[in-house]
Amino acid sequence: MEKVVIVTGANSGIGLALCERLLTEDTQLRLCLACRNMQRAEAARSALLTSHAGAHVDLLQLDVGSVESVLDAAKVVKSRYNRIDFLYLNAGIMPNPQVDIRAFFKGLFSRNVINMFATAEGLLTQQDHLNSDGLQEVFATNLFGHFVLIRELEPLLCQTGHTSRVVWTSSSNARRSAFSMDDIQHRKGTEPYSSSKYASDMLSVALNRRMNGQGLFSSVVCPGLVMTNLTYGILPSSFWTLIMPIMWLIRIFTNTFTLTPYNGAEALHWLFLQKPESLDPRAKYHSLTSGLGTNYTEPRQMDIDGETADVLFSKLLELEKGVRRKLCERNADNEAHQRYLNEIE
């Protein structure tokens, strides 16, 4: 039986590299590229079919930063597939990154250089904005939209006698100090990316606590330091030209500098080959590359309390109700929205 795999943010970077690796691993795969920009998605599909002639690659328009887009995409998925084997939640944004240049150059020639590049701690902030749903954009895209997608696809993910996998692309920048349960959208802070990634780690733990018994297993991956469009957007191109030779040199001494999307997708691909029952529900699986260029995966325990993760899950449920209620009011003639409103009242 062919596996059904959906990858969000699949048109470039780690997402596209993962798709390439999955098709190389399993030629019978039914792969769905879930992307916001359909022109780029078409280009990605063409590239994949060029190297994997005859592969089954579908496209799905999905902007995880818009709840309405998530609901529309979920409707298409439920009409197209009768189950989902893997749901890779890879899409993410880091808008308007601001780098403390002074701290950057100070750290560049210090003992802390590896940790600085790996976590961006004390170096990187972002300017966030509200989206059309009235939510913080980074929170909505990196976490909440994916949460709603999982909720909508539960009938395909949780089926008797079938196991399914949800895999989150997290980050080494996911830090507990950046997250507040009193401000889960990070409205008051300056590190929304770090906050959203730590929240996705927590949500993965909560999903395992709640849904392993229904056949759904969630895992978290850190791709390491990868040069993608998101990374290149942090600094001007002239800076990258200057420091890339230094980064390749540092890579000899650290395994977290995966650098290429192919290497960064190592743990995502590795999880595809594992039985869910053998995985640690509280581990983050890191893509690592040795100084000699060998890729491997290593689990590391996350600093997350299960009960606290459950609190976040409950808060997201309440927020979902509020957002869906607003959508119902905005689309009063939409039967699906009205049916949901009647269910939660």
Instruction: Provide the pLDDT for residue 262.
Output: 95
Give residue 345's pLDDT.
54
Residue-wise DSSP of 102-121: HHHHHHHTSTTHHHHHHH-T
Give residue 339's pLDDT: 62
Distance of CA 250 to the CA centre of its chain: 26
pLDDT for 329 equals 77
Contact predicate 153/78, CB 8 Å: yes
- What integer pLDDT is reported at residue 325 of this predicted model? 87
292 burial via Cβ count (<10 Å: 0-12, 13-18, 19+): exposed
CATH of the domain at 105: 3.40.50.720
- Catalytic positions are 193
- pLDDT of the residue at 116: 58
* Domain count along the chain: 1
Q: What is the mean pLDDT of each run of 10 residues along the chain (345 residues)?
A: 94 96 95 97 97 96 97 97 97 76 61 59 73 95 98 96 96 90 94 94 98 97 82 64 71 78 96 96 95 92 95 97 86 60 57
Q: What confidence score (pLDDT) does residue 309 get?
A: 97
Range of the domain at 197: 4-343
* The pLDDT value given to residue 172: 84
- pLDDT value for 173: 84
pLDDT value at position 100?
62
Bridge partners, 162 (sequence order):
159
Query: Residue 32 is encoded by which pair of tokens?
Result: 């769905």
185: DSSP letter: T
Alpha helices in the chain (DSSP H): 13-25, 38-51, 67-80, 101-108, 113-119, 137-139, 145-152, 154-157, 192-211, 229-232, 237-250, 261-264, 266-272, 306-330, 335-344
Residues 6+ apart with CB under 8 A from 142: 91, 92, 93, 193, 196, 197, 200
For residues 183 and 315, give the distance between their C-alpha atoms in angstroms, rounded to a whole number.
11
Give the C-alpha separation, 30 to 291, whole Å: 35
Which pLDDT does position 280 carry in this prediction? 96
